[in-house]
Amino acid sequence: MSIILASIMIWNKIKQFYSDNKGKLVTCAAIITGVVTLGKDSFDLITYFNSVNPYSEENRTLPIKIGMKIADAEKVLGAPQDRNFIGNSYFSHGIELNPDYEFQDQVGGITVKRLPSGVIYKGKVDGIRLGWSIDDIKDNKGNPTYWGVESNQSSVAIWNNIKTLTIVYLKPNKQNIWVADSITYTKEASITAYRSILLSVFQELKAGRISRFAEELAERGKKPEFKKNDLGMLSLEEFSQKYLHQSFEFIMMRPAIGGGVELYLGFNKEKILYFWIYPLGWEQPTIRAIVDLEKYHNNFGV
């Protein structure tokens, strides 16, 4: 009986020691595993250690969440260095807070990106982080729901997560491997999402599909009264036939008077089209109109 009692006491002490020193034990285990796995290569060892250590900077998660009050987020991050209609930027953290579309005092989205100053948020956003290759990201999240291509040096992948989107802008690194240059985790109805949504609509059209973000415009474009309009408005079909395969560049984005955003794109450096994206029911981003500005100005003299 005394042997059993002594064993129980020893076991309780072991459990208590583990509970009191869990972080240190995990760190030691990670180092030992790294040494066994990678030998004496110090750079690989450090990289491996940081990837498995749950307390490392690389494995931390964002200190703010979608839905929290922006005022509460600022208590955590401090005052932003810049404010505009897209978001509040923290250059010292590499983080941008994007306001909710319906509730402007709440966080609707969070963007992390590599800044020109070299500052980069090293932690994870929705399980992934900046610098990961597209293959690494797909191993974690599966294939993207939507793709978009901006140029031969920039593309975007979008994962639809039931009313939220994970948006990753990808650029090739020096080894010509496409890696995450910015990551946005956001509600669908968030201004920061609309540019990438538009790119994904273009890509779906090139694949012969109509994105759910363009279904409403596609249906309205079939009506006889739409085809007779003199406002310079293009149907989705007309846009696809005339402009879809032309080169383009973003000119600007700004809040729309009727809600949502206005996106201005130049096609072949001679034609400017205006895209109005608006969240139906406060949630579903939808392309409401595509307008040929030259035709609109000629008809209305503005």
User: DSSP string of 161-228?
Assistant: -SSEEEEEEEEE-TTS-EEEEEEEEEESS-HHHHHHHHHHHHHHHHTT---TTSHHHHHHTTSHHHHT
Do 276 and 260 share a domain, yes or no? yes
* 203 part of a folded domain: no
Do 48 and 64 share a domain, yes or no? no
Identify the residue whose tokens are 């750079």: 43
* 287 part of a folded domain: yes
* 206 part of a folded domain: no
Do 65 and 150 share a domain, yes or no? yes
Do 71 and 169 share a domain, yes or no? yes
The mean pLDDT value for 250-279 works out to 91
pLDDT tens figures, 59-80: 667 888 999 999 999 999 999 9
Rounded Cα distance between 117 and 34, Å, is 32
Do 139 and 74 share a domain, yes or no? yes
| pLDDT attached to residue 72 | 95
Give the pLDDT band (50/70/90) at residue 275.
very high
Rounded Cα distance between 62 and 60, Å, is 7
Identify the residue whose tokens are 């793709």: 147
Find the domain containing 135 and state its range: 60-190
> Residue 147 pLDDT more than 70?
yes
The answer, as to whether pTM is greater than 0.75, is: yes
In contact, 182 and 150? CB cutoff 8 Å: no
Q: Which residues of 50-70 are buried (b: 16+ CB within 10 A; e: fewer)?
A: bebbeebeeeeebebebeeeb
Ramachandran bin of 213, using left for φ above 0, alpha for ψ from -120 to 50, beta for the remaining angles: alpha
* DSSP tally for the chain: helices H, then strands E: 10, 12
Assign residue 96 the CATH number of its domain. Answer: 3.40.33.10
Do 91 and 31 share a domain, yes or no? no
* 47 part of a folded domain: yes
Do 66 and 179 share a domain, yes or no? yes
Do 65 and 186 share a domain, yes or no? yes
| pLDDT attached to residue 229 | 67
Which residues are within 8 A (CB) of 122 and not within 5 positions of it... i.e. 6 or more apart? 57, 58, 60, 129, 130
Of 52, 69, 85, which one is at a domain's C-terminal end? Answer: 52
* 195 part of a folded domain: no
Do 81 and 151 share a domain, yes or no? yes
The mean pLDDT value for 269-292 works out to 90
* 273 part of a folded domain: yes
Do 15 and 98 share a domain, yes or no? no
Q: Number of folded domains in the chain?
A: 3
Tokens of 85: 């209609």
pLDDT tens figures, 7-53: 555 545 545 544 555 555 445 454 445 544 544 454 444 444 445 44
Do 231 and 179 share a domain, yes or no? no
| pLDDT attached to residue 152 | 86
Do 19 and 76 share a domain, yes or no? no
* 285 part of a folded domain: yes
Rounded Cα distance between 243 and 249, Å, is 12
